Structure 1
């Protein structure tokens, strides 16, 4: 391979498909999972915060370019991952205690360090993984709440395990129970990872739902205003009215485009997160348990309508933007046609003025011929008087009278040639 010039990203791209592997689990184990939204540059301080934890535990410090890592402490394991909008912290701990409070996977993590994690908490989940057979699982189901509608139970991995949850928050955490019937350690790790990703991506997708409600109000108001503006276009009686309507339409277009620019990323991200949720559910390979809803059914009943609302609002907003653009173009065309008509009338008026000016100029040219002939004849008269001894028997008056038609003819021919030359030059410029 040393004979070839290697692309600088070759190894990075190859390692990407192996990044973020699941953590193998040996039940009984407990997992505490926290996801923090990046806010005000909080992502920049995560590596420093993780380095502080490593120093407290006497472990190797992470390097600055890391986007995911594992910290192996004596009492727990931490898997950290940085994503585009959030970072996740998954704490794994062997379930060796007897009481629920002692089993919390976060108890071994330094409290001061936990409280100072950068970002804003968006997801908090706990997963309890325990060994069980089908009989133990059925016995656990019998002790669940009689309100089966609030319980989510399904068999996963073609019956190799059971998942129980209700997607409610208990003491600030959503809780999952994984019953390992015949899962391998890596299968158990992948299952926990999928459950945590379903919970995270579900929450991240729902960030668009309040935005969709706000956009819905804006779109409804804009659609009503657009209908009123279309009525105003039909009632416009002058170009001034049309220009006023165009101004209002332009303002409405700016408001809608501002909303589109502000919400496009959120709606696009929601659709991407929703696809990931459905993909992770498919990977669980669920089997229905009689009397209980599986995760897929819960998401189709609770999450899918919200995502449909977001998709509908996004589409309505885009369609409204397109309608406003078309109506603006129509009204702008009407205004342009009216302006062209006014310009044409102005040009016709200018043309009439030019013709009147030309006629006046021709009249002035006639007077100019008379004036030039008069001054020319006076010059001839002065010359004749000065040379009267050489022009005998002609008199100065006779010479002056005879020069008048000659001077007038020459002036007329000269002006006519000059007019033709100017006309030819103007015609050449037009072409």
Structure 2
């Protein structure tokens, strides 16, 4: 009882995701294969990106299992293994695709010709079942696993009958794997049934788990290669658009230095180019990222095979460098050119912004100079008006004072003209001083309000 309570207390201290993450590490077990046996493998992906979902993949698996009366997988399962009438099915669900592997023990046939691969197993993937769901075949492998007594037997088989199982020598690759205890040979060209053929020659002392890991890694190489190659059509489309946009951008940038060109027209063209580049980047970035990730997985899985040359045949790594890597370099080049063109379009927009800013600054400077000239003219006009105002007010003030002082001047026997003349200077001085004080007071109040 105490031990049970202790275990319960410790369980409560575990992170909620600890157990699920441990299970995730063991969610995709390797195959366990004995020789002789045959294997049929397909990877299914919808034509359009984004359509593959876990629920859709599960529905397709359930439909396949119902044809054999087999039990359904658990909810949320990412892999499932089932026994189907003497065959074993291994199903795995990935982010973009799902894989189906059928394998069975098959006694060595009397005729080891090229038609003795897993044709009948592939027929289990019926056309009606495939057409019922949007998933389409992106990879299909037909494999046979044959036992050999020793390394000498591997070389005899590889130089003899195995060579007749495949087509063009240029697409054929072979190598020792698993530290030389087995050899694999494959033709990366499609046969008359649209399948890639794989032959595995295994020494008798190779365990089922070890042999299963070798075949699983090859299947992953082929599947990830196919998935990464889906990026190539996107890259070619992007490169075609880049060539057109590059010409348009070069012409637009050349017009930035032309002072006769309208800034608005050039800006509209740059905005149009930037919009097209953004659309290209948005529509292709997920495919480019996926292609780069799949490429890394391909090269990693080939490294795990630990290849050794057999009978001067080309290795799988050599085949990938000659036939696969150029396509991936094209994809990387397309993404790099797209990023570079986007950067140059942004830089051109900055140049145009600088030009507009300089033009605006020059216009503001000219406007300020015009305002200064207008202010100077207004000051002169104001001073002129002030002078005229002093004269006019002084004239009326002298007239009024002359009338007011006329009786006193008559008593004092002072001529009216002399009285008017005597009043002019003090009246003009008084009025000018008064107006000057009023002006200074207004200027002082205006300056105080601005501060």
- If the TM-score is normalised by the length of the shorter chain, which range does it land in? 0.7 to 0.9
Q: Which moved more, 1:141-150 or 1:73-82?
A: 141-150
Please show how residues 366-385 of structure 1 align to structure 2 within 5 Å.
Answer: 366-367=387-388
TM normalised by structure 2 equals 0.80
Change (3 A) 1:372 1:87: farther
Q: Which residue of 1 aligns with 2:112?
A: none
Whether the 8 Å CA contact 1:377–1:407 is kept in 2: the answer is no
Q: Which moved more, 1:186-195 or 1:51-60?
A: 51-60
Residue from 26, 32, 51 that aligns with 1:41: 51
Q: Which residue of 2 aligns with 1:193?
A: 216
In structure 1, runs of 5+ residues without a counterpart are: none
Whether the 8 Å CA contact 1:155–1:287 is kept in 2: the answer is yes
Change (3 A) 1:413 1:242: closer
Change (3 A) 1:113 1:259: closer
TM normalised by structure 1 equals 0.83
Residue from 38, 43, 46 that aligns with 1:30: 38
* CA distance in structure 1 between the partners assigned to 2:69 and 2:45 by the alignment: 28
Q: Which residue of 2 aligns with 1:128?
A: 144
Q: Which moved more, 1:37-46 or 1:17-26?
A: 37-46
Change (3 A) 1:118 1:173: same
Q: Deviations over 1:79-114 (max 9, x none)?
A: 222222212122222325958488622445676445
* CA distance in structure 1 between the partners assigned to 2:89 and 2:21 by the alignment: 25
* CA distance in structure 1 between the partners assigned to 2:397 and 2:41 by the alignment: 112
* CA distance in structure 2 between the partners assigned to 1:31 and 1:298 by the alignment: 23
Q: How far 1:20 moved relative to its partner? A: 0.6
Change (3 A) 1:298 1:110: closer
* CA distance in structure 2 between the partners assigned to 1:20 and 1:6 by the alignment: 24
Q: Which residue of 2 aligns with 1:204?
A: 227
* CA distance in structure 1 between the partners assigned to 2:282 and 2:118 by the alignment: 48
Please show how residues 4-403 of structure 1 align to structure 2 within 5 Å.
Answer: 5-38=13-46, 39=48, 41-43=51-53, 44-95=55-106, 100=116, 104-108=120-124, 112-133=128-149, 134-137=151-154, 138-143=156-161, 144-145=163-164, 148-170=169-191, 171-181=193-203, 182-234=205-257, 236=258, 238=259, 240-241=261-262, 243-367=264-388
Whether the 8 Å CA contact 2:35–2:145 is kept in 1: the answer is yes
Q: Which residue of 1 aligns with 2:444?
A: 421
Q: How far 1:178 moved relative to its partner? A: 1.2
Q: How far 1:136 moved relative to its partner? A: 4.2
* CA distance in structure 1 between the partners assigned to 2:352 and 2:108 by the alignment: 75
Q: Which residue of 1 aligns with 2:4?
A: none
* CA distance in structure 2 between the partners assigned to 1:24 and 1:302 by the alignment: 31
Q: How far 1:301 moved relative to its partner? A: 0.8
Q: How far 1:262 moved relative to its partner? A: 2.5
Whether the 8 Å CA contact 1:36–1:123 is kept in 2: the answer is yes
Q: How far 1:369 moved relative to its partner? A: 5.3
Whether the 8 Å CA contact 1:128–1:177 is kept in 2: the answer is yes
Q: Which moved more, 1:92-101 or 1:63-72?
A: 92-101
Change (3 A) 1:186 1:330: same
* CA distance in structure 2 between the partners assigned to 1:147 and 1:65 by the alignment: 43
Q: How far 1:31 moved relative to its partner? A: 1.8
* CA distance in structure 2 between the partners assigned to 1:369 and 1:69 by the alignment: 108
* CA distance in structure 2 between the partners assigned to 1:198 and 1:336 by the alignment: 56
Q: How far 1:225 moved relative to its partner? A: 3.6
Change (3 A) 1:260 1:422: same
- Indicate the RMSD between aligned Cα atoms, in angstroms: 3.7
Whether the 8 Å CA contact 1:47–1:63 is kept in 2: the answer is no
* CA distance in structure 1 between the partners assigned to 2:13 and 2:42 by the alignment: 43
Q: Deviations over 1:208-246 (max 9, x none)?
A: 222222222333333334443444344x1x264455444
Whether the 8 Å CA contact 1:232–1:245 is kept in 2: the answer is yes
* CA distance in structure 2 between the partners assigned to 1:418 and 1:190 by the alignment: 99
